[in-house]
Amino acid sequence: MKVHTRILAIFMFFQFSSFAQSSSENKIDLESNFNLPGYLKLDFGFTIVENKGHSLKSDLFPSRSLDLYYSKPLFLGEDFSFNPGIGISNDRLSFSNDIILSEFVDLDGNRNIIVDTLSFSPDKNSLKSTYLVVPLDFRYYFGSGSYDKRRFFIGLGGEIGLLLNSSTKLKEIKNNSSNVIKNKKDFGINDLKYGISFQIGVGNFHFYYKRYLSNLFDSSSVPMYENVNPNINKVGLSFSIF
């Protein structure tokens, strides 16, 4: 009886070992065959207001920009690629002067936007805009290698974005307590943004500069008493998450 038990145990051991090895090989083969045909990329930078003569004064470092998008390089040769993509862009302007954007409806039912001067100095006052973006870039690679793997490149392209939402944030510290007011409206922000971009980098890491040709506000919704409709520029770095 003991002999039969030992033989059965040895048989089950080899069967389990064979099954485990087969499962491990299948897992390795599955992982080696899984290859995302593109890159999930993250752009981190700073938003800069351009044009003088408006009331929007911003601080550079708190005015951050964060873009997350998918990009698929299409090589037209070993040294030249076209890179379309799609993603989400979040731009924030942190104001250095004591203002905030406000929206109100007058007695005639007309919507008006105004750069409102605050009666106090806030701890934070900012404007955030979120866009669905489509970046389109052309890149030229230098040196030998396999396509975009660790090769130096320069790129030129463009970006177009559709506004999803916008909001303001006002934070005041009073009597050692924090009071935060968030207001989610469009504030006359342009529904469509578009511009050109320049990149320089190596492999899937690069520095970028984006200059938007569209204005911050829609032409019909420029804030009251403002003579200039500003533009936005962005500068930062980009890298692949995977």
What string of DSSP letters covers 128-196? EEEEEEEEEEEEEE-SSSSTTTT-EEEEEEEEEEEEEEEEEEEEEEETTEEEEEEEES-TTB-SEEEEE
pLDDT band at 114 (very low <50, low <70, confident <90, very high): very high
pLDDT band at 3 (very low <50, low <70, confident <90, very high): very low
User: pLDDT tens across 100-110, in order?
Assistant: 999 988 888 88
Beta bridge mates, 181: 170
Structure tokens at 188: 């006359």
CA–CA separation, 219 vs 114, rounded Å?
14
93 in Cβ contact with 63 (< 8 Å): yes
Residue 29 confidence (pLDDT) above 50: no
pLDDT band at 178 (very low <50, low <70, confident <90, very high): confident
The per-residue pLDDT for 235 is 98
Average pLDDT over residues 193-201: 97
Higher local confidence (pLDDT), 25 or 131: 131
Higher local confidence (pLDDT), 150 or 216: 216
Residue type, 192: L
User: pLDDT tens across 84-102, in order?
Assistant: 999 999 999 999 999 999 9
The per-residue pLDDT for 24 is 44
The alpha-carbon radius of gyration of the chain (Å, integer) is: 27
The per-residue pLDDT for 5 is 46
pLDDT band at 242 (very low <50, low <70, confident <90, very high): confident
Helix H, strand E, coil C: the string for 213-225 is: EEECECCCCCCEC
The per-residue pLDDT for 9 is 47
The per-residue pLDDT for 4 is 46
C-alpha of 175 from chain center: 36
Higher local confidence (pLDDT), 10 or 227: 227
CA–CA separation, 174 vs 104, rounded Å?
26
